[in-house]
Amino acid sequence: MDEEKIICRCEEVTEKEIMQAIEGGARSLDEVKKRTRAGMGYCQGKTCKKLIARMLSSYTGEPMEKFLPGSIRMPVGPVSLSVLAASEEAAKEGTK
Partner 1 sequence: MAAEKAVVIGGGIIGNACAAYLAEGGFSVALLERKELACAASGGNVGQISVIDRAEPWHMRLTLNSLKTYREISEKEDLEFSQDGGSILIENDDDFEQAEKLQEEMKTFDVPSEILEGNDVLRYLPGADLSLVKGIFYCPWEGSINPLKTVMYFRDRAVRAGAEIREYCPVESFRKEGSVIRSAHTPEGDFEADYFINCAGSWASRIGKMAGVPTRLSWRRGTAMITQPIPVIARGQMCGHALFGGTSEVIGGNGSELISLGLVQTKDGGVLIAQATKYTDADDKDITLSGVSGVAAGFIRHFPCCRDTEILRMWSAVTPFSDDGNPFFGFGKNAVNLLTAAGFKGAFTTSPEIARETVRALKGHSELFDSKFSPDREVRGYHAVCE
Partner 2 sequence: MKEYDAIVIGGGPAGLGAAIEVAKAGGHPVLIDENARPGGQLFKQIHKFFGSREHYAGTRGFAIGEKLLQEAEDEKVEVQLNTRVWGIFPDHIVTAVSGKEAVCFRGKTIILAAGASENSLSFPGCTLPGVMMAGAAQTMMNLYRTLPGKEILMIGSGNVGLIVAYQLMQAGAHVKMLIDAAAETNGYEVHAAKIKRAGVPIRLGHTIVRAEGNGRVESAVICKVDAAFHPVPGTEEKIDVDTVCVAVGLSPRVELSALAGCRFTWAGALGGQVPVHTSGMETTVPGIYVAGDGAGTEEASTALDQGRMAGVSAAHRCGLLSDLREAEEHRKIQERLDMLRSGQFGEKRKSAEQAVWKAAGE
Partner 3 sequence: MQYVSDHPILGKGEAKELTIFFDGKPVKGYEGQTVAAILMENGVRTFRYTAKRREPRGLYCGIGQCTDCIMIIDGVPNTKACMTFAKEGMRTETQHGNGKTVDAGRENADERV
The binding site for partner 1 (CB under 8 A) comprises 24-25, 27-28, 30-31, 34-35, 40-42, 44, 73-75, 78-82, 84-89, 91
Q: What is the DSSP secondary-structure string of 29-74?
A: HHHHHHHH-TT-STTTTTTTHHHHHHHHHHHH---GGGT-S----S
Max Cα-Cα span within the chain: 58
Region binding partner 3 by CB under 8 A among candidate stretches 24-32, 37-45, 60-68, 84-92: 37-45
Q: How far is the CB of 16 from partner 2 (least distance, A)?
A: 11
70 interacts with partner 3 by CB under 8 A: no
79 interacts with partner 2 by CB under 8 A: yes
